[in-house]
Each structure stands twice: as C-alpha cells, then as structure tokens.
Amino acid sequence: MSIAKVVIVDDEPNLVKFVSQNLRARGYDVADASNGLEGVELVRSYKPDLLILDIGLPGMDGFEVCSYVRSFSDTSIIMLTASGNEGDKIRALDLGADDYLTKPFAIGELMARVRAVMRRAQRSAEAQVRHEVVDTGDFRVDFQHRRVTRQGVELKLTPTEYSLLEELLTRPDVVVTHRQLLTNVWGAEYRDDTEYLRVYMGRLRHKLEPDPANPRYLRTEPGVGYRFTPSAAPVAAG
C-alpha cells in the first residue's frame, strides 16, 4: 500500500512543524510551503493525496489557492481558518474544499478530519464499478467510467461531489435523508452537519441543472433530505 502524501500550506512555522511531526508519526509523507504561490507549485509537482491549507496566507490567500488548485487537481482539501466566521467556511466549501477547521484546534481533531477525508477519497477510488448510465437529457453520468457530461461537455467533479451525486442517482425517486447522505458520503461523525449538504447540493445544481434556482432533477424535500427525479430511467451502458 502506498504512503499517503500530504502538503501543508501555512505561514506559521511552529504550526507547520507541529502538524508535520504528528502526520509523519502516523505514517504520512509530508511536504510544506509558507505562501500561496509556493503551495500551488508544490501541489502541482508533489501531487498530494491531501492539502491542508490556511486561509490567511500572505499574497495569494487560501481561497485563491483552493480555487486555483481545483482547476487542475481533485486532491482532498482541508481549509484552516483563524476565525469562526460562517461566511469563510461556506466560501471554502463553495470553492471546492472538502472540510474546514477553526484555529486553534486540538491535534486529535485535525487527525480525525484527515482520516475522514482520506477515507472518503479511498472509498471513492475503490467503489464497485457500476455499468449503467443515467441520462436525463440535460446531463449524463457514466458510472463505469466515472464520467459526467452536460450537453456533451465533460464536467470536473470532486470525489465528494461525485459520491453525493451517485448516492442520489442510484436511488431515483427515493427521498434520501440528510443523515443518510452525510453518513454515506462524509462519514458517521458528520451525520448532523447539514451545512455540508446544503453547500454541496448547491454546487451540484450549479453544474448540472438548467436552472439551479429551480432544480428539475436534484430536489429538496424540506426538513427531510433530497430526491433525484429522472426524466429517463437508467439504461445499460453501450
């Protein structure tokens, strides 16, 4: 089994040293950068499995780094923020982060988040190959090749986005509860964090729906969960 690689981008040397030591003690291969530009280049060259990214970086801040990294990589991203500002957390998720953590944090909490994010990525990579295709007329999901297209143009989905979409599409016309989705996609420890669902569903609708403000396919069941309403039943891959 290959050693998981982690990049830390933070301008606090003591924090970087502390987190790096704890990650290495748990078997991770770690590299770090102290500013956004270095961080982007390190992600590009090192190709990590996980990026731990501070928002408050000099020059190119963490939001910009996250957005730029998402343009060429689907590596998992945990954002670190020095404030509990709800807007910062939502913006981080909107830009493609998989999780966030507010400073100061206990190392045990960070390691739990790292394990959870890595488990999600591993489950996504090892998911049983499905052979059907879902084609709504507006977007098409080929499960066998993990390919999502809209009007013939391939869409780039993060592993978390793809897993959430798969949970819904493989149960058409069935209401999947918030707790079921959070547990199956993020893990049992996230089962009450409905904010993740709201943000990620918004991202999926923006990418897939003809009118994201009035979703045709990815529908909300208020207070309960979400439902995929297909315009065509799944067909065999051809």
Q: What are 7's strand-pairing partners?
A: 31, 51
pLDDT for res 178: 95
For residue 8 the two structure tokens come to: 């830390």
pTM above 0.85, yes or no: no
Q: What span, in angstroms and rounded, lies between the C-alpha atoms of 100 and 106?
A: 14
**68 has pLDDT over 50:** yes
So what's the pLDDT on residue 128? 53
Question: What value does the mean pLDDT take over residues 40-54?
Answer: 96
Query: What confidence tier does 195 reach under pLDDT thresholds 50, 70, 90?
Result: confident
pLDDT in tens, 151-168: 889 998 888 888 899 999
Question: Would you state the torsion angle of the CA atoms of residues 114, 115, 117, 122, taken in this order, to the nearest 10 degrees?
Answer: 140
pLDDT of residue 127: 54
Q: What's the mean pLDDT in 13-17?
A: 95
169-178: average pLDDT? 93
pLDDT tens digits, 103-136: 999 999 999 999 988 887 776 665 555 668 899 9
What is the chain's mean pLDDT, rounded? Answer: 88
Domain 5-126, CATH among 3.30.565.10, 3.40.50.720, 3.40.50.2000, 3.40.50.2300? 3.40.50.2300
Domains of the chain by residue range: 5-126, 132-236
Q: Are strands 175-177 and 225-228 parallel, antiparallel or unpaired?
A: antiparallel
Q: Does domain 132-236 have CATH number 1.10.10.10?
A: yes
> At 78, is the pLDDT very low, low, confident or very high (cuts 50, 70, 90)?
very high
